């Protein structure tokens, strides 16, 4: 029975995460806290032999994946379809600045996100399509293996929604903390995805986080 296990993680914290800026596809670095989170994640996953490691090309995801890869003698494979949603004209702005310039659109993003196409950016439908394709191709290439995939908040949320058969408007009902661990399994004979673990953060010394990030 061919099965692929995917450990899907979110990248470590960036300064823009902490400040509440919309970063999208701006290639921000991990903050000092984010670097520490990456090391804690790698240590936690040492007990799980990884057969392959994938990440988006954005540094915050790549560096998070590389901490884990180096401890297990692996190299990180880049898949650009895993990169964060493009926020377009919102990128680099604080949530309060977006409110001032795009008040009605921001309100829609916060209530009916699947209906929003950000100015110069992407929609949830667009990123759901590209990330779902990437996830399934990774699974097909790694049957009977355990694979690490380091991605981003919006990417992880739309993947979880699709596995559960939930509408993309359920986006804000799914939480993904920095360096959280999700475990997904794909069974080829059943052609079925399962969620085994969601938003696990105990490796950072907490069962859950009260952090509410305004930007992605």
Query: What whole-number distance in Å separates Cα of residue 188 and Cα of residue 185?
Result: 10
pLDDT at 209 (0 to 100): 74
Active site residue 11: yes
Helix (H, G, I), strand (E, B) or coil at 25: coil
- Comparing CA positions, the residue from 135, 200, 199 lying closest to residue 162 is 135
CB atoms under 10 Å from CB of 184, counted, come to: 22
Q: What are the pLDDT tens digits along the chain (216 aa)?
A: 699 999 999 999 999 999 999 999 999 999 999 999 999 999 999 999 999 999 999 999 999 999 999 999 999 999 999 999 999 999 999 989 999 999 999 999 999 999 999 999 999 999 999 999 999 999 999 999 999 999 999 999 999 999 999 999 999 999 999 999 999 999 999 999 999 999 999 999 887 777 666 555
Output the six-digit token pair for 176.
């993904």
Output the six-digit token pair for 133.
């394709």
- Comparing CA positions, the residue from 150, 123, 128, 142 lying closest to residue 185 is 142
Orientation angle between helical segments 59-71 and 32-44, nearest 10 degrees: 40
Catalytic residue among 21, 81, 87, 152: 152
Lookup result for tokens 């964060």:
84
Active site residue 203: no
Query: What whole-number distance in Å separates Cα of residue 205 and Cα of residue 106?
Result: 33
Helix (H, G, I), strand (E, B) or coil at 206: coil
Alpha helices in 45-189 (DSSP H): 59-71, 95-101, 103-111, 124-140, 153-164
Q: What domains does the chain contain, in order, with CATH numbers?
A: 3-204 (3.40.50.1240)
Catalytic residue among 7, 8, 9, 11: 11
Q: pTM for the whole thing?
A: 0.95
pLDDT at 41 (0 to 100): 98
Query: What whole-number distance in Å separates Cα of residue 48 and Cα of residue 180?
Result: 15
**Alpha carbons within 13 A on the beta-carbon side of 193:** 19
Output the six-digit token pair for 97.
């600045």
Contacts of residue 184, Cβ cutoff 8 Å, sequence gap at least 6: 5, 6, 7, 8, 135, 159, 163, 193, 194, 195, 196
């Amino acid at each position: 029975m061919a099965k692929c296990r995917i450990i899907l993680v979110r990248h470590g914290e960036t300064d823009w995460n902490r400040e509440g800026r919309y970063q999208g596809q701006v290639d921000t670095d991990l903050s000092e806290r984010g670097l520490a989170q990456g090391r804690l994640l790698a240590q936690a996953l040492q007990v799980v032999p990884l057969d392959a490691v994938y990440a988006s090309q954005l540094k915050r995801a790549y560096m998070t994946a590389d901490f884990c890869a180096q401890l297990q003698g692996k190299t990180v494979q880049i898949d650009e379809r895993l990169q964060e949603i493009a926020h377009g004209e919102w990128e680099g702005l604080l949530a309060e600045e977006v409110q001032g310039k795009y008040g009605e659109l921001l309100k829609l993003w916060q209530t009916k996100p699947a209906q929003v196409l950000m100015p110069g950016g992407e929609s949830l439908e667009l990123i759901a399509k590209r990330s779902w394709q990437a996830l399934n191709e990774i699974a097909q290439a790694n049957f009977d293996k355990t694979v690490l995939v380091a991605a981003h908040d919006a990417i992880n949320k739309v993947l979880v929604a699709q596995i559960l058969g939930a509408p993309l408007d359920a986006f804000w009902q799914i939480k993904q903390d920095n360096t959280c661990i999700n475990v997904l399994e794909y069974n080829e004979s059943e052609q079925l995805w399962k969620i085994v673990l969601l938003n696990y953060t105990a490796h950072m010394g907490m069962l859950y986080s009260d952090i509410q990030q305004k930007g992605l």
